[in-house]
Amino acid sequence: MCLAPRAQRHLRALATRLRQLTEVRTAQLNQQRLIAEPLVQASFDDLLALIALQIRDLEQKIAALIEADPLWRELNQAFRSIKGVASRTVARLMAEMPEIGALSNKTISKLAGVAPLAADSGKHQGKRRVRGGRSSVREILFIVASVVGRYEPDFVAFQQRLRAAVKPPKVVRIALAHKLLVRLNAKAREVRQRTSQVSPYRQLEAVTAG
């Protein structure tokens, strides 16, 4: 198995560290609310200021890395044309799912773990559930899809139809995430075709689809 290109590894490392620091900041803010002691509050403030500084530095480095790559730059613009998709979402998708746009909707959905898989046995037909896939990608899709579902008209209508059909919240959540990934994959495919970029992952189509 060949290693990912240096830029890909670099982006993944930066995006991972940004996510970690964001989680640390959230935890520190939650803990700070429970403390009234001024000296301890000052300690929290100092730490949070340092974390904020590092987060800004990482965001700038990620933005520069994306801007320097022609394909990533185009993908960034395409993805962010969807209302609710922010720069952090783009960075994590590029870092953790570089195959996007080079694989079919079915295959990319399986990789992310948002494709309902059959639980059938003989004549019994069980509920279709999602399992496996890349949990980190699935996590960001769930979060962003909930935001997109408030702004993009077709996502709003889709969500309303599911709720009107009394679908369980978890089913609605997965369906929105799947719809978002399919939309992102289509945009990425258009970008790849337009920029004539040949993905090293294209050959995975035949392997992962089988």
Q: Is the pLDDT of residue 159 over 90?
A: yes
Long-range contacts of 46-49 (CB under 8 A, 24+ apart): none
* pLDDT tens, position by position, 94-116: 999 999 999 999 999 999 999 86
Predicted local distance difference test score (pLDDT) of residue 121: 41
CB-based contacts of 66, cutoff 8 Å, min separation 6: 11, 72, 73, 76, 90, 91, 94
Q: Is the pLDDT of residue 56 over 50?
A: yes
* pLDDT tens, position by position, 37-53: 999 999 999 999 999 99
Quote the pTM value. Answer: 0.79
Short-list 203, 154, 209, CA closest to 183: 154
Average pLDDT in the chain: 86
Place of tokens 């904020």: 52
- Write out the E strands in 7-110: none
* pLDDT tens, position by position, 14-44: 999 999 999 999 999 999 999 999 999 999 9
Element (H, E) at 121: strand 120-121
Predicted local distance difference test score (pLDDT) of residue 203: 41
Predicted local distance difference test score (pLDDT) of residue 3: 45
* Residue 5 pLDDT class (50, 70, 90 cuts): confident
Predicted local distance difference test score (pLDDT) of residue 194: 87
CB-based contacts of 114, cutoff 8 Å, min separation 6: 130, 133, 138, 141, 174, 177, 178, 181
Judge whether 102 and 162 are in contact, CB under 8 Å: no
Predicted local distance difference test score (pLDDT) of residue 143: 93
* pLDDT tens, position by position, 75-84: 999 999 999 9
